[in-house]
Structure 1
Amino acid sequence: MKLNQIIAIEKGTKSRSLQELTESHHNLQKTTLLAGISRTYRPKDEEGEQFPPESTRVQLRAEEVIRTTSEMLTKLFDVVATKDWANCQAKADVIIDGKILLAQVPATYLLFLEKQLVDVYTFIKKLPVLDASELWTFDPSADCWATEPVQTVKTKKIPRNHVKAEATEKHPAQVDVYYEDVVVGNWRTIKFSGSLPAKRVNELLNRVEKLQEAVKFAREEANNQDVTELKVGAAVFNYLFS
């Protein structure tokens, strides 16, 4: 038998054992199932009224429940022991690109790794990415990414007069006021960001995916080893109920 086969049947065995143990426990609380009676009637004289005998059979015997419960739990104890003893020996290498990243990792730790890497993948997937509409270069002095400087002008509205009609002896000059945008300076803008280039995030995602695959393969290999079926339950329950 393989370790993965033992793992596959362990859950079902535990579930059935718990169900049967609970049922046995509840049945033993029903005192009517444990009780029996036998009654016969004999009149004082031959002319007296006759009554048929009455009897109730014992439907449940505690020793029988102990025996069946022990048998059921013995199987569970044996399955779990076989798995746990085998897990002490079940190991495999985590290999990436033909190189051993982790050597002889226990199957239980491989299972832990497999679950944790799901959270690591989610963490990497949500890393902030640089705005693709900008051109970024790394600025060592600022220790982050920066855009090329962009220069924009600063303007100010200056009022101007437009003479529509010159003044005469009878009428004042007709003047319209308008505003003209006049350049008064220049803005030099550099954007900074602590986000990551999309290429970097994709590289990290690729790495974690490769590691997830390698861990899964290693776990399958570790769990594919042959196991020796152990019989430890009998010793436990022979001691308890003999």
Structure 2
Amino acid sequence: MTTRLSQIVAVEKTRKTEAYGALTAAHHEVMKSPLLTGISRTYRPRDEEGEQLPAESTRVQLRAEDAISRALSGLAPFYDVTATKDWANTTARADIRIGDQIVISQAPVTYLLFLEKQLTSLHTFVEKLPVLDPAEQWSWDDQAGVWRTAAYETIRSKKVPRNHVKAPATDRHPAQVDVYFEDVPVGTWTTVKYSGALPATRRQALLDRIQLMRDAVKYAREEANSAEIQNQHPGATLLNYLFAA
């Protein structure tokens, strides 16, 4: 009998929950000693005139073998589903295509799942790469191996004290002078800015390419998951061996 890998993946979680539930329930059952215990007591007086007492009995409510059977009935389907998925992962494959180009040929499902996670990480990494300040005009400097702006000049000024005579000196009073500072150009700064950041267009192109690949990997995974696979049933064989009488 064949099925699709996507169907197996869809029910795997349910089978796992059912299996662990059955095993846990069986474990809790066998921990309740009174359920596993029974007794039968009858009373016989020493002579015929002695008091007659009714028999007493407690029935065994749980057999350990029954608990084992219930646990195994839940475990076997889970083992089978997992086996089918793992066997299928060795055969279910698909090409990663972008347009007419095959980037990776016949990639297995496990590798496609790996790539999806890696491409998500790469997208986050590229998304946070710094870009050049759009307020500046940048050009590539082959010699320095970085981006640079055109040189621009700024004036360097220095504050020079100046005297302002408010009142000239007389025979009786000294001159009244205010001191103030004047900005006087003393030189010129020539500035060139450099940057190792990326042009915004380069970063966007990388993000677009990564997203294109993410989509291609997703399509390939869906194609691989739709492949028909052979159901596997090793669960009962394994468990019967382990719990054989």
Judge same fold: TM > 0.5, yes or no.
Answer: yes
Residue in 2 that maps onto 1:9? 11
Q: Give distance in 2, aligned partners of 1:160 and 1:237.
A: 103
Query: Structure 2 unaligned runs (5+)?
Result: none
Does 2:155 align with 1:153? yes
Residue in 1 that maps onto 2:196? 194
Give the drift of 1:49. Answer: 1.9
Bigger Cα displacement from structure 2, 68-77 vs 160-169: 160-169
Bigger Cα displacement from structure 2, 63-72 vs 73-82: 63-72
Aligned with 1:107 (options 100, 106, 109): 109
Q: Give distance in 1, aligned partners of 2:169 and 2:60.
A: 131
Give the drift of 1:48. Answer: 2.4
Residue in 1 that maps onto 2:24? 22
Cα-Cα RMSD: 2.0
Residue in 2 that maps onto 1:80? 82
Please show how residues 148-187 of structure 1 align to structure 2 within 5 Å: 148-164=150-166, 175-187=177-189
Change (3 A) 1:34 1:172: closer
Please show how residues 53-92 of structure 1 align to structure 2 within 5 Å: 53-92=55-94
Please show how residues 120-135 of structure 1 align to structure 2 within 5 Å: 120-135=122-137
Q: Give distance in 2, aligned partners of 1:170 and 1:30.
A: 119
Residue in 2 that maps onto 1:234? 236
- The one-letter amino acid paired with 2:93 is K
| Cα contact 2:126–2:203 (8 A) shared by 1 | yes
Q: For each residue in 1:78-123, what CA deviation from the matched residue of structure 2 results, as whole angstroms up to 9, or x when unmatched?
A: 1111111111111011111331111100001101111111111111
- The one-letter amino acid paired with 1:217 is Y
Give the drift of 1:168. Answer: 6.1
- The one-letter amino acid paired with 2:6 is N
Give the drift of 1:148. Answer: 1.1
| Cα contact 2:22–2:75 (8 A) shared by 1 | no
Please show how residues 36-55 of structure 1 align to structure 2 within 5 Å: 36-55=38-57
* Identity level (%): 55
Count residues in correspondence: 242
Q: Give distance in 2, aligned partners of 1:173 and 1:230.
A: 112
Change (3 A) 1:160 1:18: same
Give the drift of 1:222. Answer: 0.5
Residue in 2 that maps onto 1:215? 217
Give the drift of 1:13. Answer: 1.0
- The one-letter amino acid paired with 1:54 is E
So what's the TM-score if we normalise by structure 1? 0.91
Change (3 A) 1:6 1:168: same
So what's the TM-score if we normalise by structure 2? 0.90
Bigger Cα displacement from structure 2, 90-99 vs 163-172: 163-172
Q: Give distance in 2, aligned partners of 1:167 and 1:240.
A: 120
Change (3 A) 1:169 1:8: same
Aligned with 2:140 (options 121, 134, 138): 138
Change (3 A) 1:30 1:167: closer
